[in-house]
Amino acid sequence: MPLYGRLTHASHRSLRLCSVAFALLAVICTACSPLVVLNATIPDDGYERATNRGYGMHPRQRLDVYIPEARPVDRPVVMFFYGGSWKRGERAHYRFVGQALASRGFVVVIPDYRTYPEGRFPDFMEDAAEAFHWVLTHIREYGGDPTRVYLLGHSAGAHIATLLTLDRGYLARVGLDTHEIRGTVGLAGPYAFDPLAHRSLRPVFGHLEDPDVARPITFAHGDVPAILLLHGSADRTVRPENSARLAQRLREAGSPTRYVAYDDLGHVGIILALAEGYRARAPVLDDIVAFLSTDSVLGQSMSVPCQQNSQRSISAPAYCATSETPAFSLR
């Protein structure tokens, strides 16, 4: 191919990536089609994918497994829960997340779960527990180590991942313990929100007599796996105070917890930063991999002083906020 053709192709790919980013920023919370376009720009080599594995009888109780191409043995496992206001989402749309982590040597599991109207709280939490049980039972078949399973979630998925980590009840119902979670990473999760304060969420949570049972911050205690909370300082959908407050509560309880705020990063940008072509915006992927690879997730303390400024690396001190702005905002 002539040099001009290569340059033209690269230019077109760059423009396509920019177009996808713009579309995602506009509509990721209300439609999934831009994610399909994004995945079209993601490399499809370097990993294998085992699709449509059932962890229950409901049609939404299915998952995909991403396996590094080298067919590893006893590799660490990351279980990713996507967002979508507990109302929407498809595991196939997050191939870019599977590719990002599989390329770093992790076996990646992405489950679907029941969303409204097929499910309300706590249905999706029960699905998460069942999916985790499936992982511990079957992941060796895919080269994963069931003693090194980490949770990762974005937005509503971060809520699911952290609540599964903090509230012992969900895993107890499937005969497991939260200590079988090696560590948890939350991206822009609503950990301290009031689910009944938002009309759009009442179909999902409105039946609850006590909304605190749906708030991860309610269950903050010291005897939990290591937790990393990442948030964009420009997030106006789920306010950064969610992560700041949960991190502070967990640290006060003696839990190994870290909070990182990225300057000028929004709600969509933090998940988009995992995709190839967008990682220069913020070191989200590197920070996740560093957390999963450090000895700190084995139980050593990660507690650090709280400072009033944003940080761009997990090697820096944690950030905390004292703002009284609402913890969750839907626009």
**Rounded Cα distance, 163 and 192, in Å:** 11
330 — pLDDT class (breaks 50, 70, 90)? very low
pLDDT for 44: 84
Mean pLDDT on 162-173: 98
Pick the closest to residue 193 from 153, 133, 239 (CA basis). Answer: 239
User: What percent of the chain is modeled with pLDDT above 70?
Assistant: 79
At residue 331, the pLDDT reads 28
Which residues, including other chains, have CB under 8 Å from residue 130's CB and lie 6 or more apart?
55, 56, 61, 174
Q: Point out the least confidently predicted range of 89-103, 213-227, 317-331.
A: 317-331
Instruction: Give, in order, the Cα–Cα distances in Å from 116 to each of 86, 124, 127, 130, 230.
Output: 6, 9, 13, 18, 26
In the chain, where the domains are located: 1-41, 46-319
Count CB-CB contacts under 10 A for residue 227. 28
Cβ–Cβ < 8 Å for 291, 314: yes
Query: What whole-number distance in Å separates Cα of residue 90 and Cα of residue 248?
Result: 33
Residue, of 170 and 298, whose pLDDT is higher: 170
Q: Is pLDDT of 183 > 80?
A: yes
Tell me the pLDDT tens digit for each residue of 54-71.
999 999 999 999 999 887
* Mean pLDDT in residue range 152-162: 98
Options 3.40.50.1820, 3.40.50.450, 3.40.640.10, 3.40.50.1980; CATH of 46-319: 3.40.50.1820
Average confidence score pLDDT of the chain: 84
Q: Phi and psi of 186, rounded to 5°? A: -115, 130
Q: What is the pLDDT of residue 299?
A: 40
Instruction: Check whether 12 has a pLDDT greater than 70.
Output: no
224, 180 Cβ separation under 8 angstroms: no
